[in-house]
Amino acid sequence: MTPVELSRTVLLAVRRAVDEGELNVAPPERVVVAPPGPGGCGDYATNVALQLAGPAGQPAHRVAEMLRERLLGAGGISDVVVTGPGFINISLGGAAPVEVVREVLRCGGRYGHGDSLAGEGVVRLVAAREVRAVVHLDVVARLLRSQGALVRAECAGPLQAQWGSVLGVRVDSVSDANVDIGIRPVPSPADPSPLGRDAARWALLHPAPHDRPRIGDEHLVQRESNPLFRVRYAHARSRAVVRNAADVGFGPEPGAVDAPALHQALADHPRVLLGAATHRAPDRLARHLVAVADAVLPWLPAVLPLGEEKPSAAHRARLALAEAAGTVLAGGLSLLGIDAPDHL
């Protein structure tokens, strides 16, 4: 279940409570779900009960329990817990692997995008005038927009030329240096521009904002010790098996495949995108892409028929999963502002 689908499910629970006479309130147009805050649990949380309590003339905790009863019967939800004054925390059941693959192939590079953060006004982001900060600004803005937010990206001072020409950073405006700066990760110890756009952005984004990034040639090496190489190589290999399958006359068809780690990584992608956007944490997406790559790489050799073996339903199902993994990797790299070449 994606955040958009979960939002609709919660809204349906509200409408049912209204229709059944337990809530005397006008249902909202939409319900916001987001990763749980401190003290929360599960995959997503919503404060809709607190929003409805006043107009309904009931305690927020009672409204939350009312909605909890209805949500527990919804497909795709494994548990619902009410915490604090009335926060509803929702745990999702594992989505059927075949349906996850179908959803990825249907959505393409926009798999995991949604409108969970829409309707909350313009989010103003201001970054310090420093190379790592402006790259973080660029990606945080992309992540927020992927979840429906309206964003204004600003830098506390003019950009240096190479930040745009080499690193591909764009801002909406330049702010006064005295403005409240919200994006200020640990600064880069050196100019990353000599690494080129892709490696430089990865070097600045893969570590958590509070960690000091390393700027060196290790980000350029074409071997498994380099996480960026593994992610891009996994994408290129997934594209290669799709091309090779077409050459021998068969295409992808989602079906049962025994690859639980990879299925879980793909199912987690919408939650990771929303969490990275909500917490202004591009590193969450970077680490998730490494997890997807590490799950798919050992499994790819089993996708195509061997020798004189004829393509079967199992091969078509494996191919669909490989294509879905490549799609998630390409979409994630795009949000980080990094190219995903089909050949390495």
Distance CA 112, CA 211 (A): 27
Q: Is 227-335 CATH 1.10.10.10? A: no
Distance, CA of 278 to CA of 155 (rounded, Å): 20
Cα–Cα distances (Å) from 283 to 58, 176, 257, 280, in that order, read: 41, 28, 30, 9
Q: What is the pLDDT of residue 175?
A: 84
Task: Write the class of the CATH domain 3-92.
Answer: alpha beta
Q: Spell out the domain ranges in the chain.
A: 3-92, 227-335
pLDDT for the residue 94: 62
What is the side-by-side strand order in the sheet with 122-127?
Answer: 122-127, 150-155, 173-174
Contact 266, 100 (CB under 8 A): yes
User: Which spans in 215-309 are helix H?
Assistant: 227-247, 260-278, 282-296
**How far is the C-alpha of 234 from the C-alpha of 229, rounded, in Å?**
8
Report pLDDT for 96: 72
pTM above 0.75, yes or no: yes
Structural tokens at position 129? 């005038």
Q: What are the CA-CA distances from residue 252 to residues 109, 171, 208, 233, 312 (Å)?
A: 17, 40, 37, 20, 11
Encoded amino acid at 284, one letter: R
Distance CA(137)–CA(134), nearest Å, equals: 5
Name the burial class of residue 21, with classes exposed (0-12), middle (13-18) and buried (19+) by CB atoms within 10 angstroms of its CB.
Answer: exposed
Q: How far is the C-alpha of 329 from the C-alpha of 300, rounded, in Å? A: 14
> Residue 280: what pLDDT?
94
For residues 18 and 14, give the distance between their C-alpha atoms in angstroms, rounded to a whole number.
6
Along the 344 residues of the chain, how does pLDDT read in single tens digits? 778 888 889 999 999 999 888 899 999 988 988 888 888 888 889 999 999 999 999 999 999 999 999 998 777 788 899 999 999 999 887 667 898 999 999 999 999 999 888 887 899 999 999 999 999 999 999 999 999 999 999 999 999 999 999 999 999 999 876 678 899 999 999 999 999 999 999 999 999 999 999 999 999 999 999 999 999 999 999 999 999 999 999 999 999 898 989 998 998 899 899 999 999 999 999 999 999 999 999 999 989 998 888 999 999 999 999 999 999 999 999 999 999 999 98
Q: How many whole angstroms separate alpha carbon 94 and alpha carbon 297?
A: 23
Q: Which amino acid is at 226?
A: N
Largest CA distance in the chain: 72
Q: Residue 233's closest CA among 337, 334, 340, 110?
A: 340
First and final CA of the chain: distance in angstroms? 34
pLDDT of amino acid 95: 63
Amino acid symbol at 140: V
For 170, other C-beta atoms within 10 Å of its C-beta total 13
